[in-house]
Amino acid sequence: MHTHMTTTPFGRRPMSLGQIASQMTAKAMPETAVVNKWETFKNIREARDQLGATDRSLAILNALLSFHRETQLSAEGTLVVWPSNEQLSARANGMPATTLRRHLAVLVECGLIIRRDSPNGKRYARKGRGGHIEQAYGFDLAPIVARAEEFEYLAEAVQAEKRALKVAKERLTLLRRDTLKMIDTGIDESVPGNWGRVQQQYQDIIARLPRTAPRMLVEEICDELQDLHDEVRDILESFIKTQNPDGNESHSGRHIQNSNTESLPESEYGFREKNEAGGSAGENDNVKSLPKRDLPFGIVLDACPNLQEWAAGGEIRHWRDFLATAEVLRPMLGISPSAWLEAKQAMGERHAAITLAAMNQRSEKINNAGGYLRSLTEKAQAGKFSTWPMIMALLNAELNASKIANTTGAKPRSEDQSRQYAVSDALLKSLERPKR
Q: Give me the pLDDT at residue 386, please.
A: 87
Please name the residues in contact with 54: beta carbons below 8 A apart, sequence gap of 6 or more. Answer: 48, 103, 106
Task: Evaluate if residue 189 carries a pLDDT over 90.
Answer: no
> 371-385, pLDDT tens digit by residue?
899 899 999 888 888
Q: Residue 56 domain-assigned?
A: yes
Q: Residue 244 domain-assigned?
A: no
Do residues 226 and 284 share a domain? no
Q: How large is the average pLDDT for residues 380-395?
A: 86
Do residues 98 and 212 share a domain? no
Q: How far is CA 308 from CA 137, 146, 317, 326, 426, in A?
A: 82, 69, 10, 10, 33
Give 5: exposed, middle or buried? Use CB within 10 Å, 0-12, 13-18, 19+. exposed
Do residues 265 and 413 share a domain? yes
Task: Evaluate if residue 212 carries a pLDDT over 70.
Answer: yes
- Which amino acid is it at 307? L
Residue 248's pLDDT band (cuts 50, 70, 90): very low
Q: Give me the pLDDT at residue 226, please.
A: 93
Percent of the chain with pLDDT over 90: 22
> Which of 48-52, 142-146, 192-196, 409-413 shows the lowest per-residue confidence on average (mean pLDDT)?
409-413
Residue 311 has a CB neighbour count (10 Å cut-off) of 17
Do residues 108 and 53 share a domain? yes
Q: Residue 8 domain-assigned?
A: no
Do residues 299 and 187 share a domain? no
Do residues 106 and 73 share a domain? yes
Which range marks the domain in which residue 128 is found? 17-146
Do residues 299 and 391 share a domain? yes
Task: Evaluate if residue 287 carries a pLDDT over 90.
Answer: no
